[in-house]
Structure 1
Amino acid sequence: MKTKYAICGVSNRAVKMFIGPMVNTFHHHAETVALLDIDPKRHEVCKSKYPSLADVPEYGADDFQRMVAETKPDVIIVTGRDDTHAGYIVKALELDLDVITEKPMATTGADCRKIIEAEARSKGKVTVAFNYRYAPIHTRIKELVLEGKVGRVTSVDLNWYIDTYHGASYFKRWNRIRANSGGLSIHKSSHHFDLVGWWIGQQPAEAFAYGRLNYYGPEGEGNPRKTDGRHCETCGDKPDCAYFMRWSSRSKQIAVKDDHIEMGRAMNGYSEYRPDACIFDSQIDIEDTYAATVRYEQGALLSYSVNFSLPYEGYRLAINGTKGRLESTEFHSPSRVPFPVPEQTIDYFPLFGSKETIHVVKREGGHGGGDPVLLEDIFLGPDPKRGYAILSGAKDGAYAVGVGEAVWRSVQEGRPVSLQEVLEVRC
């Protein structure tokens, strides 16, 4: 018997990550029975891509209860704008339905607490689609830690770099407003905080951080002229905008990659939303640079930084322990890197001994090959041959958001912020 899924938020992410695979790959196991979104045009775009969904009922943003009553889904997939996640998750749990949600699970610690409490009362369970865990290089790092290669983990260094193409895209879209996204310490860095916690098997306890808006907003050094309301498509200042011209030319504009609206371009965009707002608007109220220290309950320390305007994209990682050290460096999106990049490997340095380089077999698919395997676990059930847990639940989602909020609060208040304070409940 097929599992019935209702989609809350018919974003490009929903269509590419979940609806498409359900139609093409997992059609023997999964069925889309309802589409819900604030914008009817998203339903139209989705069905134009997948005509087999032509008869699937459509619902507005406030029609959740009616949707469930009429279509009787088994699982709710939540893939709308970040600030809509918590409401649909809690409503689904109140009806004893399982939930799959895109990261971040919520945009505040308070909403995470509501989800944790709702799940405790419900027969339903929450799965958070943290696909970074599933990239082959990341699962191998987890396995090496589990094998005891580094011993007891004492510290982690993680420096994440986001280039001027990808980084600027967050400041063209809805993400640039904290009320929509929770800021990038939640919307983006929750991925990173989840990875670290999963790798080392420890729960975060406290964070201290600095952060700033260095590149974007009206005071950004690259701003050709201080004025609001510009859009890249029609902006007369774009020949003087280095962020635009690095990826474009006078005759061709490179479209911003947007998981939440990209498909709508063919239909003149969705209503009341454009993904090409000016990165120098005064509306921007989030940071683009963070440096943070996170303390974990079993004593490990994380030194973390992220920068959203750099010449290339990727990360540098080191995991230190009582028996050795793991290192790995990634150069992401090599087509956007203006120099040759090495293959990503994992270097292991025993505390006493010689270096070992570990090569990892690559896999096709989004997020470093992680998406296809995540989807198999979601639609077919966790791989029984895997010897460790990898699917994320509500507690994992809460800790990832909790660290992100603790980082932002620390930036604002200039003090360490505990996870217990942010979540107001022990997960």
Structure 2
Amino acid sequence: MRRYAVCGVSKRAIGMFIEPMIQTFSNQCELVGMLDIDSKRFSVCKEQIPETSNVPEFDSNNFDRMVKETNPDVVIVASRDDTHVDYILKSLQHHLDVISEKPMATTAEDCQRIMDAERESKGQVTVTFNYRYNPYHMKIKEMIQDDKLGRITSIDLNWYIDTYHGSTYFQRWNRYRELSGGLSIHKSSHHFDLVNWWLDQKPEEVFAFGQLNYYGKDSVHNPEEEEGRRCSTCGVQLDCPYYAHWNTRSNNATVQDDHIDSDMRRREGYTNYHTDRCVFDSDIHIEDTYVASIRYEQGTLLSYSVNFSLPYEGYRLAINGTKGRIETMEYHAPSRVPFPTPEQTIDYFPLFGAKETIHVVEREGGHGGGDPVIQEDIFLGENPRRPYKILSGSKDGSYAVTTGEAVWKSVKEGKPQTIDDLLLEKTVK
């Protein structure tokens, strides 16, 4: 029985970690403490999961006291992105294992601090990159490992975020680079880690372009220039396509999203936390569109793009190798797609041979069925029968974050960025 403390009682923490510990892995796990800056989050958690009613609560400034009083074996970090590094470093100082939500940190410099601290600690860091656990992504890993493609020469990955999901990032704290690292880190680190894992290669150099096209004060969709509006009280909400498209005139959201409760947009939720801030505010400076070229240590080239305001959500992927090519396309959140969506398959094209279409066995659960499987690896230990390593460590987390930082720095500076230079920046200084 391992003892767990949770830092950041977010929606993600409750659904991804706390509920499974209580309901599925209770023979292996004991939740001994919860820490957060807002006491309302404890109330929400205990309302949703009554079994947590007697779990001790701690303010965000009382990490050391929580460790002393609850004696955890593992600290789960699911707080706001910019706070991850502090909780991870404090946990390692106490020689505790850490499970961190992605991104592990928001800067390459903080990633280097974490890896340095881990080397001096008895604790180990795990980063929950659940995209790896999607059954389609695991099948692609198996095909690459089985040498179906030969040496990988290039990858095309285009990621699409729809107008509902995409706008939520600009309504919350994610809109500030100092809190999220920008979307090339907060969101794209997921994608970069996936490619890094498929290839089992280190990214070396990045060149990127990016822009703020849809959100911010200069958006063509801004119905009126005014600062500090909130969707729930805005006088021009029906003139805003991001609001009007997804809501009725009676102020009810018509859809659900994995990342945020839609009714949170309509009411006062947690203390000083608003999920319906105006996407056209002038303090929005992060990019909502990226195109990047990334070179890997063994010569593989990645062509990557992401767009945070599109009519549907999903991705297109092609992987080319010396023995063949695979293609697949996923439509995420089909309930929000305004047309029929085909079943996802993987098409395999041998370099000299006939096309094969692979139908992957799907699973229930969040993130394409990935969440339940990563939870088993987290709480029961990695499956020993799996022919490849899948659970991520601090090095994986660092390369994902640093690639994202290289993307936005390349955009700002107009020149290529070298991954090792960014990770060693702290040492050079």
The TM-score normalised by the length of structure 2 is 0.97
Match of 1:269 in 2: 269
Match of 1:418 in 2: 418
Match of 1:40 in 2: 39
Say whether residues 1:9 and 2:1 are aligned partners: no
Offset, 1:214: 0.2
Match of 2:104 in 1: 105
Say whether residues 1:161 and 2:160 are aligned partners: yes
Q: Deviations over 1:77-107 (max 9, x none)?
A: 0000000001100110111100000000000
Match of 1:130 in 2: 129
Say whether residues 1:384 and 2:384 are aligned partners: yes
Offset, 1:245: 1.1
The residue identity in structure 1 corresponding to 2:213 is N
Where do 5+ consecutive residues of structure 1 fail to align?
none
The residue identity in structure 2 corresponding to 1:305 is S
Match of 1:331 in 2: 331
Q: Deviations over 1:206-228 (max 9, x none)?
A: 10000000000000110000111
Offset, 1:262: 6.9
Q: Distance in 2 between matches of 1:425 and 1:379?
A: 35
Seen in structure 2, the aligned counterparts of structure 1 residues 284 and 196 have a Cα distance that, compared at 3 Å, is: same
Q: Distance in 2 between matches of 1:122 and 1:378?
A: 20
| Greater alpha carbon shift after TM alignment, 54-63 vs 309-318 | 54-63
Q: Distance in 2 between matches of 1:274 and 1:258?
A: 17
Q: Deviations over 1:401-425 (max 9, x none)?
A: 0100000100000000000111118
For 1:63-82, list aligned pairs within 5 A.
63-82=62-81
Contact 1:12 1:262 in 2 (8 A): no
Offset, 1:252: 3.5
Seen in structure 2, the aligned counterparts of structure 1 residues 347 and 288 have a Cα distance that, compared at 3 Å, is: same
- What is the SS of the residue equivalent to 1:362? coil
**Length, aligned pairs only:** 425
The residue identity in structure 1 corresponding to 2:292 is A
- What is the SS of the residue equivalent to 2:171? coil
Match of 1:214 in 2: 213
The residue identity in structure 2 corresponding to 1:176 is R
Q: Distance in 2 between matches of 1:23 and 1:267?
A: 29
Q: Distance in 2 between matches of 1:313 and 1:263?
A: 21
Match of 1:295 in 2: 295
Q: Distance in 2 between matches of 1:153 and 1:4?
A: 42
Match of 1:58 in 2: 57
Seen in structure 2, the aligned counterparts of structure 1 residues 283 and 169 have a Cα distance that, compared at 3 Å, is: same
Seen in structure 2, the aligned counterparts of structure 1 residues 262 and 70 have a Cα distance that, compared at 3 Å, is: farther
Q: Distance in 2 between matches of 1:55 and 1:201?
A: 44
Match of 2:233 in 1: 234
- What is the SS of the residue equivalent to 2:91? helix
Q: Distance in 1 between matches of 2:20 and 2:405?
A: 33
The residue identity in structure 1 corresponding to 2:413 is E
Match of 1:364 in 2: 364
Q: Deviations over 1:295-336 (max 9, x none)?
A: 001110000000000000000001111111111101111111
Q: Distance in 2 between matches of 1:206 and 1:83?
A: 25
Where do 5+ consecutive residues of structure 2 fail to align?
none
| Greater alpha carbon shift after TM alignment, 66-75 vs 265-274 | 265-274
Contact 1:155 1:301 in 2 (8 A): yes
Match of 2:314 in 1: 314
Offset, 1:249: 1.7
Offset, 1:273: 1.0
Contact 2:204 2:418 in 1 (8 A): yes
Q: Distance in 1 between matches of 2:337 and 2:44?
A: 33
Contact 2:264 2:275 in 1 (8 A): no
The residue identity in structure 2 corresponding to 1:335 is S
Match of 2:120 in 1: 121
Offset, 1:267: 8.3
Q: Deviations over 1:111-163 (max 9, x none)?
A: 00000000111111000000000010000000000000110011100000000
Q: Distance in 1 between matches of 2:298 and 2:93?
A: 34
The residue identity in structure 2 corresponding to 1:280 is F
- What is the SS of the residue equivalent to 1:171? helix
Contact 1:11 1:261 in 2 (8 A): no
Seen in structure 2, the aligned counterparts of structure 1 residues 256 and 282 have a Cα distance that, compared at 3 Å, is: farther
Contact 1:42 1:264 in 2 (8 A): no
- What is the SS of the residue equivalent to 1:4? strand
Contact 1:292 1:304 in 2 (8 A): yes
Match of 2:19 in 1: 20
Q: Provide the identity percentage.
A: 62
The residue identity in structure 1 corresponding to 2:341 is V
Match of 1:343 in 2: 343
Q: Distance in 1 between matches of 2:25 and 2:165?
A: 31
The residue identity in structure 2 corresponding to 1:214 is N
Contact 1:4 1:75 in 2 (8 A): yes
Q: Distance in 2 between matches of 1:337 and 1:227?
A: 31
Offset, 1:365: 0.1
Q: Distance in 2 between matches of 1:267 and 1:338?
A: 28
Contact 2:170 2:284 in 1 (8 A): yes
Seen in structure 2, the aligned counterparts of structure 1 residues 144 and 127 have a Cα distance that, compared at 3 Å, is: same
Contact 1:349 1:356 in 2 (8 A): yes
- What is the SS of the residue equivalent to 1:405? helix
Q: Distance in 2 between matches of 1:394 and 1:163?
A: 30
- What is the SS of the residue equivalent to 2:54? coil
Contact 1:258 1:275 in 2 (8 A): no
| Greater alpha carbon shift after TM alignment, 252-261 vs 340-349 | 252-261
- What is the SS of the residue equivalent to 1:368? helix
Q: Distance in 1 between matches of 2:20 and 2:263?
A: 16
Contact 2:135 2:363 in 1 (8 A): yes
Contact 2:3 2:72 in 1 (8 A): yes
Offset, 1:266: 10
Match of 2:406 in 1: 406
